Amino acid sequence: VLINDTISYGPIGKNGSTPLSNNPTKISISMSTIRRTTFLLFTVIAISSGYLFLWTHNNNIYSNIYSNSSSNSSSSSSNRSSTQPQLPSNSLSINNDNVFFNKNNPLHKKTSLRAAAKSTSLSKVDHDQSKEDTIKSRCQNFIQNPPTKIDIVIPYEYQKEDDLSLKYELRSFEKYGLLNHVGTVYILMDTVENADKMKLRYGSYITRQQQQQQQKITTAEEDDAAAQIQLHIIAMTELRDAAPFAVEKYEANPKLGKSHYAPYLPGIAEYYLLVPDDVVMLKEYSRDIWFDAEKLLPYGHSFGLWQGGNTHGHPNIAELHGVNFLNRCSLEYVIELCVRGKMKISNPADLSPTAVALGLLNKEHLLSRFYMYHSRGFASVKPHNTEFFRECHTNGGCKSPDGFREIFVNVQGEGVSIEYKEDVALRNRWSKWFEESFPVPSRFEGS
């Protein structure tokens, strides 16, 4: 073929030769025609190859999706059939029975399996620490379902003398109706020896409590019996196998240890108050003071500058100065994450679980609002429309109870607290106010 020239051919002869002819057939092919034809040919091949590739690739994707969907479907179906009822992912597994440890949940029996679990270290329980296992995914259902009853945890250091602070604290809770909404009061001690001494002070109530527990109660009577508030005086050493750090690591700071151990108390409710032993209540109880009924979320508070451990960038809480309304699930999540998870914290002082938990909840929009200490924003919250908390240090200028308008006040210092130096004038003044304000004994006192 000669481009831009002619090709001549005629009848083929016997020898295969082309005999000469005066009128040969001529075909003329230009360069532009060749280029167009070649371009179209390659375009068709390219498009066809592309469609073939996409068809094959998509078939593989659809095949995988179908395969995974079928696998997940059968797996979830198997899980639903093997777990009745379905329970939150954070419930501990003991003898293959999942338990929702909330006293108000119908699954929670009078003898809670959490009590049985206290000898089971959480390190022996498989917890998912994947990216999907967040404080929100694990705890949101617990957080947004407020309990009808909460528990109270009071970290306490044994004193040889009868501590007036604790007595009047319980009287104030009684006077303003808080104890009517409490299932159990835990007084958390450092050692078994001191816990036994403390039990002697409340011996009559504990004896009555034990007698009630020993009685055989029918199912119909169980609800009435559950209305009786429980008092448990327990030592940190009794929780050594369930809690995050060994008791010995808290010798320098036992108060911090008690805040770490609180969520592992046997039978602890899903929501509990962590309260020091020198707080008094000055307003009538309402659940609205710590739970926003419209948003179905709790409030968070900071109570000053005292730091109970590393907050890891979250606001300081000073949890052992104020009244902390805490969610058990969120506290356990933080401790597992920091101690047994990615951070591998080995020193208790490197973690304030209360500060980290409230910080994460606030970040995930699981708090209705967070209030810093001295913030006046809480005054807009009904029904009291006043500030939530005040700290009164007698050795810091707070010499008189005049002007108290808050819901809770922490009163400590000279003339009040045994660990401070004695001031007779201050003690007489404050003792008179305590007695006049809270003259009626709590249910834990008396014969």
pLDDT at 252: 79
pLDDT at 13: 44
Residue 81 has pLDDT above 70, yes or no: no
Residue 398 has pLDDT above 60, yes or no: yes
* CB-CB contact of 187 with 231 (8 Å): yes
User: Can you read off the two tokens belonging to residue 182?
Assistant: 């409490």
Residue 187: pLDDT band with limits 50, 70, 90: very high
Return the closest-CA partner of residue 151 out of 276, 5, 269, 17. 269
Residue 79 has pLDDT above 50, yes or no: no
Angle, in degrees to the nearest 10, between helices 135-143 and 328-335: 160
Backbone angles phi, psi at 392, to 5 degrees: -120, 105
Q: Per residue in 321-373, pLDDT tens? A: 999 999 999 999 999 888 877 778 888 889 999 999 999 999 999 999 999 98
Higher pLDDT, 438 or 416: 438
Residue 316 has pLDDT above 70, yes or no: yes
CA distance 134 to 139: 8
Residue 62 has pLDDT above 60, yes or no: no
pLDDT at 117: 36
- DSSP per-residue codes, 157-172: ---SS--HHHHHHHHH
* CB-CB contact of 239 with 195 (8 Å): no
CA distance 258 to 441: 27
First-to-last C-alpha distance (Å) of the chain: 124
Return the closest-CA partner of residue 299 out of 184, 405, 377. 377
Residue 217 has pLDDT above 60, yes or no: no
Q: Per residue in 281-311, pLDDT tens? A: 999 999 999 999 999 999 999 998 887 789 9
Average pLDDT over every residue of 98-113: 33
Residue 67 has pLDDT above 90, yes or no: no
Mean pLDDT across the chain = 74
Residue 162 has pLDDT above 70, yes or no: no
Backbone angles phi, psi at 388, to 5 degrees: -75, -40
pLDDT at 160: 64
Return the closest-CA partner of residue 388 out of 334, 322, 314. 322
